[in-house]
Amino acid sequence: MANHSGWHPASQVCAPPPLPAYLKNVYDLKPIVGVPSDEEIIGIHTVMQAANRVSTVPGMHDPGLLMRLADHLFSVQIAKYRGKYSLLAFPSNATYTPPSLPAHISVTLGTVSGVPTNEEMIKVQEAVRSYQQFSHVPSMFDAQVNMELTQHLFDLQMARYTQLASEYQPSSTSQTTTALGGSVRSVQPPNITEGAISATNNAGTGVSAAGVHLTSSLAPTIDTSELMERPNQLAARFNLLLERSNELAERSFQPTAQASQPTERINEVFERLGRLEARVHQPVEQSDRLTERFNQMLERFSEAIEQMNQPVQQINQHAGQFRQSTEQSTWLAEQMDKHAERIGDVMQNINRVLVGIQHAIVRNHRENTVNAVYCLVNEAGEVLGASETSQGTPFMRLFQQSRYSDFQLPVAVDGDYRHLHMQTPLLGEWLSFFGIGDGLCDSPTSTVLKEGEAAYAKDKLSDYLSSCLG
């Protein structure tokens, strides 16, 4: 269909509703002058999607703002439609081409010619619902495609509306004959020829509307000028008949011989006046029926928009529930970590108690020697003969190594101090094995003493072993 930019005034302004600050940061809507661009319509869709997502947050739902945004989008889509299609005629061979859809949308749309069928409308609505379900997945959602798809649905709905509205236009009266003394003649509306409509449709544009042909016999076209002129014509004829009735009333005062004829004519005039008054009200009644039909179409359009928004609202609800579940899972994980730390502390305390009990059992054994130190366990339950710290050195080998010691470590056993033969390189291993080497070794896992700490390490190990065996 040829574009007719003259239908939509270039100076018409579509003003958006005031937006809160958090929506202005998404897209700051500006007044739209003339035919809106794709970017401006995409901005409105973006703001509406953000407003719908925010409405799921408690205390942030604003139905009035959502309603005003929907009204603004409707006005802009009307302006976009007017910028593409002619006002004067809607040819039955008009074509509406859908946008190209991505592969993950299973619905296949084709070009619609003329008035769309129910099946074609259902497919487009299904495509809109399917595509808008991916609005939360940026890699699978394109705002340009969404805008073109919703505009395509709007164009098809307007095509159906104009077709239905054309079926409820006033029936044309070709002529009205009034015979009143031969002074009132028949009145016929001027013929609307094909050339006249073509010139009107392209006035001021210099371009002929190819493929648009209208004749006086085409009833589906709504001629608003005819609806306005017919009441004026009937009112003029009504005034003319009133003047004639006044003249006849004056003649009624003439001689009695002529009185009967004017009286009959006066009655005839009043009958015609009644018929003309009824005809004057016919265009008004037909206009009321068109208005009622238009309101019904708007209600259906609003219902379709609400049905389109239901899947998005459900997705937002599921997203909110998933967010709540995630928060609860995080809270439970934190609580589990806290309980695990507490359990770890309790287990460490239990382990220390068990180590102390083992040391007490060894200490209470009679006739202990200094070699009883090799029977003491650490907090890991290891003894020196099977410890990773001593690299699994057997008991006898440790005993033999102690014979070649370079110093003797005093250890209290059963109240008496005994001397434990030890080599200086083994001092760090003994401290690390019993877990008392903090600050004395190079690192918490190292068995190498720091320089200058050998004397303090000997005293600390002597005190520890004495507390276990003394």
Output the tens digit of pLDDT for each of the chain's 470 residues.
Answer: 444 444 556 678 999 999 999 898 889 999 999 889 999 999 999 999 899 988 888 888 889 999 999 999 999 998 888 888 755 445 456 788 999 999 999 999 999 988 899 999 999 999 999 999 898 888 999 999 999 999 999 989 988 888 887 776 554 444 433 333 443 333 343 343 333 333 333 333 333 333 333 333 333 444 545 544 555 565 566 556 556 655 665 555 455 445 455 556 666 766 776 676 666 556 656 667 777 877 888 888 888 888 888 888 888 888 888 888 888 888 998 888 888 888 988 887 888 888 888 788 888 877 788 778 878 888 888 877 665 555 555 544 555 555 566 788 898 888 888 888 887 777 888 888 888 888 888 777 778 888 888 888 888 888 988 888 87
Domain segments of the chain as ranges: 365-469
Dihedrals phi, psi of 202, to nearest 5 degrees: -115, 20
What is the β-pairing status of strands 95-96 and 112-113?
A: antiparallel
DSSP 328: H
Phi, psi of 417 (to 5 degrees): -80, 130
pLDDT at 267: 65
What is the reported pLDDT for 1?
41
What is the C-alpha separation between 423 and 403, in angstroms, rounded? Answer: 9
Residue 39: what pLDDT? 92
CA 147 from chain centre, in angstroms, equals: 13
Residues 6 or more apart whose CB falls under 8 angstroms from that of 21 comprise: none
CB 441 within 8 A of CB 349: no
Supply the pLDDT for residue 427. 83
Block residue for tokens 């002597």? 462
Strands in 359-461 per DSSP E: 407-413, 416-422
**What was the pLDDT predicted at 241?**
58
Nearest CA-CA partner of 120 in 91, 149, 153: 153
Q: How far is the C-alpha of 431 from the C-alpha of 465, rounded, in Å?
A: 11
What is the model's pLDDT at position 305?
Answer: 84
Output the pLDDT for position 244.
64
Alpha carbon distance 251, 266 (integer Å): 10
pLDDT at 112: 92
Q: Would you give the distance in Å from CA 318 to the centre of its chain?
A: 13
Q: Which two tokens stand for residue 465?
A: 């072993």
DSSP state of 176: B
| Total count of residues recorded for the chain | 470
| pLDDT at res. 306 | 81
- First-residue to last-residue Cα distance in the chain: 108
Tokens found for residue 206? 């210099």
Q: How far apart are CA 311 and CA 190, in angstroms?
A: 54
